[in-house]
Structure formats: structure tokens, C-alpha cells
Amino acid sequence: MSLPRVVAVAPGSPAARAGLLPGDEIAALDGQLPRDVIQYQLLADRETLDVEVRRGGLELTATVEREGGEPLGVEVDAALFDRVRTCDNHCEFCFIHQLPKGMRKSLYTRDDDYRLSFLYGNFTTLTRFTEADLERVVTEGLSPLWVSIHATDPEVRAAMLRNPRGATSLRWLRALLDHGVEVHGQVVVCPGVNDAAVLDDTLAGVLDRFPEMASAACVPLGVSRFNAEVAMRPHTPAEAAAVVELVEEWQGCFERALGRPVVFASDEYYLLASRPPPPLERYGEVAQHDNGVGMLRCFEARFAGRIDLPAGGPGGFFQSVDGAPAAGYRAARAPGRVSLRSRPGAPPTVLTGTYAASWIERLVRPVRPDAEVVAVDNRFFGGNIGVAGLLTGADIARTLGELSPGRRYLLPDACLSGGRFLDGLGPDDLPLPVEVVPSDGASLRAALGPGPR
């Protein structure tokens, strides 16, 4: 187990008054060493707290006194201080298996840790879940959690996970729901494996066995050029349309039985099927926004300034591993945008993935006729990978190298984690200046500016 290391201390905070400094390693809080940031926050939520730290080879104790519920004022370097509970499944559709060699080491971590599910919205299969985990989830109120279902038929699920425990681990989903834990589910739909009749059976199983589930998202399989599983292939437009039609049919069943739609198809399905996504109100609280469900309609509404929805969870892929704040996706995020060598008077060009480019252009052109939207082709991953969150620095650099230097280039922050792209490059490595803009409609609208006069 590693010790949590202090990376920042808020000026004037209780921690600052007690003399804590960046670089301190926290050895204990009131005599206990927390195993993760969840336990750390619970232990730190006391009016008087003895903090044992290691500093430059010395062991020191600082007494922290908080008044009126003041935040402690310490940011630590990680979410988990013990080992990440890694995944023991061998899913043929796993995207991490499709990563090429030579990328950041942390990207290859396959977690199946319920704590990261709570903190970051990661999906867990529950194949490594235990009675002790259930007790902690219930007693500490670790809700909501996010669970990968894929299929409710035990044999199909075990085969998809390539793990015999996949046949029985959904019993933990039933236990979580029985204890009032809010759970959001996911079905990664693989053509010829768990679509069509199997998907129909899965949605029937959700209604029959897990009707308390808050939401369930059907998302398409991502297939990169590094995929080595011959059975895995992208959806055809006709298959995408079939998924949309099946999901919408089951929404009606859920609404008649439960009064809410429960199941949703991701935006990618609507784009692939060349169909407009449902209106925003159809998505309710848009709980699976960061899983690509209702994201386009939220973006549209924020762009038009009609609503003020929270920005949601971390924008990019693999954010839970290195880049998200230790407090998880519920932590406050800095507002505004980061400018890098921008040219305020130049006409804007929005860089994004191929999936959403036409949707964004439809919004941008009426308010900035001189604006351009450029879809960056993801040659690094290839296949059907077209979301902005998986763009690499190399592909963005290649695209910028073909464009005019006389424009402003706006880049969504979804493709950055800790200031770096997935291939390790940074914005300063690009051949043209860019402005990194938060990946929501309101931020993009503000970044576009008033336009020419």
C-alpha cells in the first residue's frame, strides 16, 4: 500500500494553518491509514484531526482544527492508495486489449474496482465483488454505481466475459438494488453476439429481474485497427437502426410497467443509423451523458443557452487512471477555457471527431458563418473509432498540418488527460496554435466569439 501524497494545500485552509505542505506523505489520520480517497474523506471529516505525515525522512504529527464544516484543504495524488482491483475477465470486445504497444503504462490497466465505479463512473462487471464489498457500499453509501451487464442470460454473459463467474455475478446487482443502491447499467452490443434476439432477451431480463435499475445504456462495440478478435466487427447502418428500434420498443414496455423508459441507445447509434436522436426531455436526468447517451441533445441545448446542465463527468477516455481529480467525477472543475497562443481576431475552426462533426457544424454555422468544423480522421486507432475523446496528438497534428495558419483552432478538452493526448503528445507539440475548450456547448459558443461585423 502506498501513502497518499499531498499535491496541493489551499491557502488559509485548516490544513494550511496546521502546517501541511505539498509533498507530505500522509501516514495516518487519527491513527488510521486510509486505503482510498473515499475512506480518506470520511476520516478527514472531523473537527479535530491528528495527521501523521512523512516529510523529508522525518515523521511529524500535525493537529488540524476545522470550524463550521470547513473543507480540509488538501488534494492528494491518487484515488486509491492500495492496489487497483484489476479485471479478471477476458472480454473479446475489451478496448484495452486493442491498444498498441508503447503508450502510457497506466492506459493498460484494466480495472474492475467498485470504488472507481463510484468515484469516476467506471463500469464494473461485479465478477470480483464480495460480501465485504457489499457491506462497505451499503454502510458508506457508495451510490450510484455503474455495472456492465452485456447479457442477462448466464451462458451468454459468461461467454462474453470469458469468465465462468460472469454467469453468476449479476446476483450482486440484485443485492445492490435490494439495499437501495442506485445502479446504472451498460450493454456493449456486439453484432452477431448479443444483439438482435439476445439483446431483446437482455432487456426483458432487466425489466423482469432488475426493475429498480436507474438506467441502462446500449452502446456500440468499438473496433480499432489493432483488434485481433475476428468475431468482433463494427455495426452496419442497418444493424444500428435495428438496435434503435428495439430499444425504443422496450422503452415503451418499461414506461407502461414502471413509468419511466430506463433503457436508452447511445447517440452513436442514431448517428450511424442517420436518425435524429430523441428530444432532450426524453432522456430525463441524462444520467448516462458521459456514456454517450443524450450527449448531442445536451450539447445542443447548452450551445443555445436554453439550459444549465452540469458538465458531467470526466470528458476523456481512461480519465480515471491518470488525470481526474482524486475526489472523482463529483469534484468541482475549473470553469472557462485554456488559451494557448490564440489569435482572437481570426475566424474559428472547430476540431472534433468524425462522429459529431456534422452535428456540431449544424449548430456552429448559423451563429458564425465564417466558422469551419473539421473532422479529424482517427488513423491512429482506425476502425470505427470516431469520438473526440480518442483523438491522438499525431492525428490532430497531421490535420493541422494541412490547414491554414491564419485561423483560430478550437480543440475539445475531451481528448486530453492531464494535458496530454493518448499518445503522449501535448498541445505545444502541434504545428499550429490551438485553444483547448471544455467539451460542452456553452463553452464552445463562448469560444466562437461574436463573429465578424
When pLDDT is cut at 50, 70 and 90, the band that residue 320 belongs to is very low
Arithmetic mean of pLDDT over the chain: 90
Highest mean pLDDT among 193-197, 286-290, 404-408, 447-451: 193-197
- Cis peptide leading into 234, omega within 30 of 0? no
Distance CA 214, CA 229 (A): 32
Same domain, 196 and 238: yes
**134 within a domain of the structure (yes/no):** yes
**369 within a domain of the structure (yes/no):** yes
Distance CA 70, CA 84 (A): 30
Domain range for 12 is 6-76
Same domain, 284 and 362: no
Highest mean pLDDT among 124-133, 330-339, 343-352: 124-133
**406 within a domain of the structure (yes/no):** yes
Total tally of structural domains belonging to the chain: 3
**320 within a domain of the structure (yes/no):** no
Those residues with Cβ within 8 angstroms of residue 376's Cβ, 6 or more apart along the chain or in another chain = 351, 352, 353, 354, 391, 395, 396, 399
Same domain, 14 and 49: yes
Distance CA 309, CA 285 (A): 9
Same domain, 137 and 21: no
Same domain, 232 and 347: no
Say what the pLDDT of residue 345 is: 77
Same domain, 177 and 261: yes
Output the domain CATH number for residue 64: 2.30.42.10
Say what the pLDDT of residue 67 is: 84
Same domain, 40 and 101: no
Same domain, 22 and 142: no
Percent of the chain with pLDDT over 70: 91
When pLDDT is cut at 50, 70 and 90, the band that residue 334 belongs to is very low
End-of-domain residue from the set 227, 261, 293: 293
Asked whether residue 203 carries a pLDDT value surpassing 50, the answer given is yes
CB distance 353 to 418 below 8 Å: no
Distance CA 262, CA 206 (A): 9
Same domain, 201 and 251: yes
Average pLDDT over residues 17-44: 92
> Per 3-state DSSP, what percentage of the chain is helix, strand, and coil (rounded to 5)?
35, 15, 50
**272 within a domain of the structure (yes/no):** yes
Count CA atoms closer than 13 A to 393's CA, side-chain side: 17
Q: What are phi and psi of 190, to 5 degrees?
A: -110, 120
Asked whether residue 339 carries a pLDDT value surpassing 50, the answer given is no
Say what the pLDDT of residue 315 is: 42
The larger pLDDT score, comparing residue 124 to residue 333, is at 124
C-alpha 5: how far from chain center: 24
Same domain, 375 and 273: no
Asked whether residue 313 carries a pLDDT value surpassing 60, the answer given is no
Q: What are phi and psi of 14, to 5 degrees?
A: -55, -40
**302 within a domain of the structure (yes/no):** no
**274 within a domain of the structure (yes/no):** yes
Same domain, 144 and 244: yes
Q: What is the pTM of this model?
A: 0.89
The grid cell for 397 is 497534428
Average pLDDT over residues 415-438: 92
**318 within a domain of the structure (yes/no):** no
Same domain, 247 and 126: yes
